[in-house]
Amino acid sequence: MTGADVIILSAPPGSCKGTQAGLPERDFGPVQTGPDVTRGVVLDGFPRTEGQAATLHGLLASRDNRVTAAISPDVDEAAMVARVAGRSTCAGCGKGFHNDFKRPAVAGACDRCGGTAFKRRADDTAGTVRERLHACHAQTAPLISHHDRQGVPERIDAMGTIAGIRRALAVITEGIAA
């Protein structure tokens, strides 16, 4: 990736943005969240609307930069509800776990620190996840259309495994770096 490239990770809640951000950050520079991006990865938060996307494209063009890829993971609502509602973190060190996909090696004990207290986010309920997904889809549909018109989007299936999503991101970012 050259200094002129920006990748946007914008996706529904629970679609692995935070988990996957380390790959492009390690390979392509800092993860950023605001309109002052000049290189690297924009992780959620901005742009979230078509107007913000147009502003970002304009700002980048004025600096001879461009949005190289807009990665908008597609999700299945029922599976996403199960994914998000099953999340928990170690109360001691913050390591993430899941009831079905990423259990501690020893039941009831954190793999990282050995702690035995786990917590869940208050908004990780089925109803809240459904509301957040509906709002996200309504808000990002025009944004995705905007990126389509700009000819830059890449899409991945966010319902895959962590390793599968990471491989898909690697293919996209390797294509950009070439």
**Could you tell me the strand order of the sheet in which 31-32 lies?**
31-32, 40-43, 5-9, 66-71, 153-154
The amino acid sitting at 14 is: G
pLDDT of residue 31: 59
Rounded Cα gap, residues 51 and 41, in angstroms: 19
Average pLDDT along the chain: 76
pTM of the model: 0.64
Per-residue model confidence as pLDDT tens digits over 27-74: 655 655 555 555 555 555 556 677 777 777 777 776 666 676 666 666
Rounded Cα gap, residues 96 and 74, in angstroms: 22
Where in the chain are the domains? 5-75+152-177, 87-119
Cα distances (angstroms) measured from residue 36 to each of 133, 143, 149: 27, 18, 22
Per-residue model confidence as pLDDT tens digits over 17-36: 666 666 555 665 565 555 55
pLDDT of residue 12: 74
